[in-house]
Structure 1
Amino acid sequence: MKGIGKTTLARLVCSRIYNKFEGVSFLENIGDTKHQEIIKFQKTLLNDVLKINHLALDEHHWYHNASLMRDKLRNKKVLLVLDDVKQKNQVTLLAGGRGGLLGRGSRILITTKDESLLDGLKVHHKFIVSGLGPTESLQLFGRYAVHDGGDDLEEGCDCEELFKNLVHYAGGLPSAIKTLGTCLFGRKKDQWGKLLEQLERNPILDWIEAYSENTDSFLQPHESVVEPCGESGGTPYDDKAYKGIRQMEIVVFGPVIGSIRSDYDHGGSLVRSARHGGSHEGKTITVTLDYPDEFLTSISGCTNTDLSIIQSLSIHSNRRTYGPFGDENGKRFSFHDKQIKGKKILGFFGKCDPYVNSIGAYIGPISHPYPFRTIGPFGNQDGNSWNDGKHADIWQIDVVFDSEVESISIIYDNDGHGTIPITHGEKGGGKFYSVRLAYPYEYLRSISGYLREHLGRLILQSISFNSNRRKYGPFGREVGIPFSGPSTGGKIVGFYGSCNRHLESIGAYLEPVSHRHHVRIVGPFGGNGGGPWDEGRHTGLRQIIIRCGTVMDSIKCVYDDNGTSSDGSKHGAGRGPYSHTIELDCANEYITSISGYLGQLREMYLVHSLTFRSNKRVYGPYGQEKGSYFSSPPNIGKIVGLYGRSDTHLDCIGAYFAPVFDHLNPANTVGPFGGGSGDPWDDGKHTDVQQIFLSYGVIIDGICCVYDKGKKSAHHGDRGGCSYTVCMTFLGLHRIG
């Protein structure tokens, strides 16, 4: 992981043990060095240890230098640091193969982002840099954000809570903490609060690209424009700038570009532009990007100067070129390399009618995706691989352990429902512990534990789960090789690993999370006109009143606050000809998503249409569905408040989402509990269970059930052993035989 402190820690180790060696060489930032470039590091190593400049090395055949280096170094006790290694052969070329280049007692310290690279190198000890904890993060942040004991802060500023909330988003990454502190040094408290507000709305804000040189960009808009390429005719279109582009749809009509349409990312939500050009029945090409890892970097193509239209387009990403689409026989154009170098496209604008006449772009700095994607896997990876994927959250983990970790069973959250327990490893006769998280306020942040080497393989000896509130474990013996995931600002949303009879290895998926993690802020969608309004957070919604015509004229909500009705204000003038009222049974029904359309009305960019979806039905659309489409992310909870901007019309709208608690929608199934062998059986769903017949001995031999209306299931298992019957009544249970 870049910026977590591997190089700094390696330097600290060197400073403490260097005097035990005859020579020390710290080869920093080896990175993507190719074979031909390895000679400079070979020279540095020899110079550091022997203190001799201008040694004669083969400049063209670097592999010939190994024997010379071995002759010079084989009697030297050397401490060699290979920093940021990305290829195994880099270690071989600089430290030697099986025989080695260095003398007896030498030590080689390797830093790398790729733990798997160390496999096969006969590494004696691995140490995973876990990042900084909350206290250390706060101390480092204060060193860069506050100088002279805080004399530069405003008088009376109580900033401890603000500090903690800001540092949360750095996830223990020293480089991110340093950049954030430097960015905020000398600024007013309201600017600190403004940045925190941005981070709360989108925890993957561009500042997490902690390697940006322009720290001012964190606090102010930083997009610029590439002027349109193409011809001058047509009607203007403008998609505005967003976080990035997910997908483009291009229609090629004969030899020309008939239309384009783009899907943008708006803090995790979708904004789909209107179709720019005519509704032609040509060939439709869809370019889907691997967002956020893949992003657009440029556009090129050809124009037809006689018709004043674009007749060819090529889409360039950081990974590949899509196209060309259309006819390339024309006047070529391309975004200027100097203007777009090191940036990505955030949105398009230009002219069209009825074809695409020109295209320009909003551009901004390349954001680095959330750095903590996965942790691990830790342990032996030779077993059968398993992967639970990503979920909304984690409710419960059951661990079976003895001398090693035997199995884990996880219940995930799925839109307010508990999933069926997913088990990895066999449930033996060991000790059992159930980790039950206080969902939604508690979440897992990292895992840690110990590995033991036995007969050439690593055994998962112990495991602990660390939440934002406490540590669960250790489960197993804390002896052997320790491992730990980084202390991040994110939460674990899924596990993966390998297992046979026992759990062999485990890793985790992480996602960023707001410091108010149980509430998610979506939007706003729309323009910047009008004045801001914010209804805050409530328990739920009871009523939504809308007035609309060609655009949304006003919106008013009645909220629920733990059983008490709370009236919101009307936002907008409310002069539209149509009125719509949504009545919700807040005890059983809640709004799960908001979508609609955005567009121009004279000089204003407004909300044209709204649709609300509940857990029971769809309300709307209200207004006219034209312009750019937007939608909140799926399965993120229920709306508990709205905010936005308005004047005579509704300029923009956003929403607060909170988790859906399971008492409204209990899980449909539990289990199955037991082994994975045998033939599957399933009695299906019924209204009730009237009787259960069991046959048993030292184990349960068989079971049969009688459901509502006397419907009897097949007998599952054997009929041997003792028998037992349970009869269900409305007054309770009693034994029949």
Structure 2
Amino acid sequence: MNYEGYGNSHVSVGPWGGQSGARWDDGVYNTVRQVVICHGATIDSIQFEYDKRGSSVWSEKHGGTGCFKTAKVKLNYPDEYLVSISGHCSRAVEYGPVLVRSLMFESNKKMYGPFGIQYGTYFSIPMTGGKIVGFHGRSSWYLDSIGVYLMPLLQRNPSDNFATPRNYKTNGTDEKYKDDNYDLEDELGNKAVIRRKETNTNGFMNTKQAVSYGPWGGNGGNIFDDGVYTGVREVHLTRYGGVVSIRICYDLNGKEIWGSKNGGSGGIRVDKILFDYPSEILTHITGYYGSTILRGPAVVKSLTFHTNKRKYGPFGEEQGTSFSSASNNGIIVGFHGRKGWFVDSIGVHVQERTLPVPRPIPRPFYETSETSEIQQVYEVIPGAVKEAAPLVSGPWGGVGGKPWDDGVFSGVKKIFLTKGEGIYSIQFKYDRNGQSFWSVRHGGGSEGSINMIKFDYPYEVLTSVCGYYASLTGDDQGRGVVIKSLTFYTNKAKYGPYGEETGTFFTSTKTEGKIVGFHGRSGCYLNAIGVHLQQWSNDLAQQGLGERGRPVRMIINKLFN
């Protein structure tokens, strides 16, 4: 990319990290010459050398005096400059403050880092096409949080389309910066227009327009904006009285892009919403906002997601003031709002256009003449039966811990579990339309033996699970009841038992099918477990293949035996 220079307006992005420590702000300079990082299990401190009209200016040291390692990022000034940072933030000790645990710096020439430990919540600058001209954040004995000042660069002959953020704090109320790639316009009120110009292979310029709605909610916290993408694939929420945090998996021209986790870390209920993208499109959101405590600040209390196929939610309490993000004639391509201990407010970027009416299409099995591999295709065969919705079975076990639900996927590829006097924890690697997804770890305890179960997916599929549960404490109310043993069955083999087969026996449904997800309860142990089961369709298995003339049952037997 060739850059002609930069405008006279900067934007403030972040900070990412915790709320502890004293606030610091280095201000805005021409560029960054050097970064000095002291790090170990966290980022202990950070210091910057800036350039101000050709002169070197050192900032104060932000953080404490502890230092296991010292790293220096010395840029080749003036040709090299910082364009982005990323990292992780989390608590270093239980109940301690959230700190910056790792940092990575990207210049227009190369990457530097990572420095520290890459553990916790990932963050990155949701903007490209700018250079870093200053830093701000919070610090105490450690670096508690970090944010940047970005100077937008004017780009000439762009070759890539990139996400464009809006609604950051600007240095000047009426500043508009325009270049050959996009125009960014901020308007008063709840609506702003972001225009992205794209040049096709024939050299013609097409203008895509994203309209921003909201945000709805309170005025607390800091501004966040994930930017503009092609669509939304997945949404993760945590809740406790209100919506504590939200994180979005976007689609950008067929590529999966995860946004930052926006909000706090005190959620005890996790919700995961997976859309069947690109056939299922997120069109609008609705929800409620209000105070979680008497005379407290307003935060987002409930969210409902609407697609061109169905509704997901509500997630949270539908109390307070309601809101809605306009009509169905559009695609949500980004989120913005305000964040602090909760999601204080939320808004959306919408690509406005008329959506086609969805039509259910059966997915029969067939064998290709070219490769003789089993595949699924979108074609209509008269009399074919639509795949039934997955059944929910269980959970079996105790009532202790907190509920969790991974949701529904295409299948299960791996299982990690730790066991001792009971099953301490379990974690799953799922497949969804050819992409792998790891669940969070359900349970606790780092002791015990670790077991990994790897299936020959997709030829080997998980069909049932059984095991035993019993009380570790003699608690008759079930809060001391944990899963003692687990055994897994596939269409090819038996795995286990893992743990002691003592207590009350349980088994998943005997309906023929494959397990496509898990749910349950967990705390210090795995307290309970249940499954999402996709039934085999007998009617579909009895269908013929038309032009091939071979029964589908033969191909299903070939795949699962």
* TM-score for the superposition, normalised by structure 2: 0.29
Structure with bigger helix share is 1
**Scaled by the length of structure 1, what TM-score is found?**
0.22
Structure holding more strand per residue = 2
